[in-house]
Structure 1
């Protein structure tokens, strides 16, 4: 082997080692960041298996001395989290369906049709992004009370799904703008009307965006607190999971182990849904931004 080839091999080896070293350093940094991110959730699962004293005496330790599974049964039965879970599922599913249909149709009309006042509508929609949610609770509750919808799951669904949901509308609008118009024209030639074109052609094509909107709406509704709290002041049996956490807060003490068990019960459906829809979530966000 010549001297030039040997020098080239040495340079390649040094460069290769440097690249690998940088890769390992980045992997270690990302791994540490992931552990810091996941640790609170793991600690919560660990706290749900400890007694009240051990939660504070064990510090940052994750392994309980003796797992206490009764915390989960206590949260499920004594704190009525079984009923709260059912209420939350009903409210969340109905809200997600209403938001998906409404936002998809609004995004489709704004993206594909020209009409008077279109720019004004867009300005108003974007402006609502800067309105704090707390400012809208009082008028929403007042309207719900006048309509006789307060203290009911149906009123809660209408209140949660009746918000602007501007981000969801913009996602659908960006996606529908990139869909070829020939698809609509072919459906119209075949005799399809507006609803047929929307539900049979356009909405199925927007499945990645629908998955994204479903996940975002699910998370927002599942974790909603202020509106469900106001709507269930006089009806504790209609509480959702987030409001039901108040059952573990007493006048002079807090049941931390029971609250941790209830929090794990509340988070499991969210984690499962995200694992199932994460691929569609990424595709929907990328497709809408690209369009």
Structure 2
């Protein structure tokens, strides 16, 4: 009994130590955002500032134009997440519920796309967006970011929809519901955990996306997102490191709040996907 209790206590202590090591870089970044640049460069691994410099956040929000970048990022992220969820849910529903010739081939192609690095598709993607007349616009950035197969989400939806009893669709057909009505009013509400999981993951990826916003806003600096706006703190000869850490902290707050609010649905979605 004593040895078992000692073993559990030892495991808990080890987990706490590893947990602290895991989150220490985040703690260091947040506390370093209150330092001066001199203290940042000479402070070493010690994260605690001698005096809290709140002006770093004011400078990041106003002087570095992060207030505008924040609005751009919200519009960019929310729009992209909605488009990706609709496309992934529709594709997953078709692949998970409907048997048609070539279905397995399409699934194989969708999965194969997962192994194509996103950087390889930048040039054709840029040409397509330019041909649509959407270059140098926030809509062009949204279209570019929301494009692609989004294989993980498609497979999550397909796996979930495949488990739903066929009787639900048959009852909807008897009531006169068509394909879209059955999908939107019956199937989609049932997939709330998958929607939450895909939404959170896509939100995090889009919020921190750098490559596509950098390329598609190169000629329009006012359309930059928070991730791209970090470049404002890097000069030719000097860099504002504490301003950068303050800006990074600002950009992480919405992601952390969203995950804390939606973590129950996220865990349910992941658990459901693993069971299937």
What TM-score bracket applies, with the shorter chain setting the length?
Answer: over 0.9
Q: Tell me how far 1:289 sits from its aligned partner.
A: 2.3
* 3-state SS of 1:278 partner: helix
Residue 35 in 1 paired to residue 20 in 2?
A: yes
Determine the structure 2 residue equivalent to 1:3: none
- Partner residue, 2:153: 168
The counterpart of 1:49, out of the listed 34, 43, 47, is 34
Flag as ranges the 4+ runs of structure 1 deviating above 4 A: none
SS at 2:114 equivalent: helix
Counterpart in the other structure of 1:101:
86
Aligned to 2:209: 224
Offset of 1:184 from its aligned partner? 1.4
Q: CA deviation at 1:273?
A: 0.8
**Residues 88 and 241, structure 1, Cα contact 8 Å, conserved in 2:** yes
**2:269 aligned partner:** 284
* C-alpha distance in 1 between matches for 2:274 and 2:28: 36
Q: Work out which of the residue numbers 42, 45, 62 in structure 2 matches 1:60.
A: 45
Aligned length: 276
Paired residues of 1:174 and 1:289 also in contact (CA < 8 A): no
Deviation at 1:87, TM superposition (A): 0.4
Aligned equivalents of 2:128, 2:90: Cα separation in 1: 25
- Write out per-residue CA displacement over residues 37-66 of structure 1, whole angstroms, 9 at most, x where no aligned residue: 111111111111011001122222222111
Work out whether 1:248 is the aligned partner of 2:233: yes
Encode CA deviations 1:116-135: one digit per residue, 9 max, x unaligned: 11111011011011111110
Partner residue, 1:9: none
- The answer for the alignment partner of 1:183 in structure 2 is 168
For residue 25 of structure 1, report the CA deviation from its aligned partner.
1.2
Aligned to 1:203: 188
Structure 2 unaligned regions, length at least 5 = none
Deviation at 1:186, TM superposition (A): 1.2
Q: Would you say the 8 A contact 1:111–1:174 is kept in 2?
A: yes
Query: What is the deviation of 1:148?
Result: 1.3
Match of 1:145 in 2: 130
Distance 1:63 1:166 in 2: 43
How many Å separate the matches in 2 of 1:187 and 1:22? 56
RMSD value, Cα: 0.8
Q: Which moved more, 1:274-283 or 1:163-172?
A: 274-283
**CA-to-partner distance for each residue in 1:125-147, whole Å, 9 max, x for gaps?**
11011111110111101111122
Counterpart for residue 85 of structure 1: 70
The equivalent position to 1:155 in structure 2, one of 140, 165, 174, is 140
- Which residue does 1:123 correspond to in 2? 108
The answer (yes or no) to whether the contact 1:44–1:260 under 8 Å persists in 2 is yes
Counterparts of 2:238 and 2:195, CA distance in 1 = 43
What is the alpha-carbon distance in structure 2 between the residues aligned to residue 129 and residue 32 of structure 1?
A: 36
> Does 2:179 correspond to 1:194?
yes
SS at structure 2 position matched to 1:99? helix
CA distance in 1, matches of 2:19, 2:123: 40
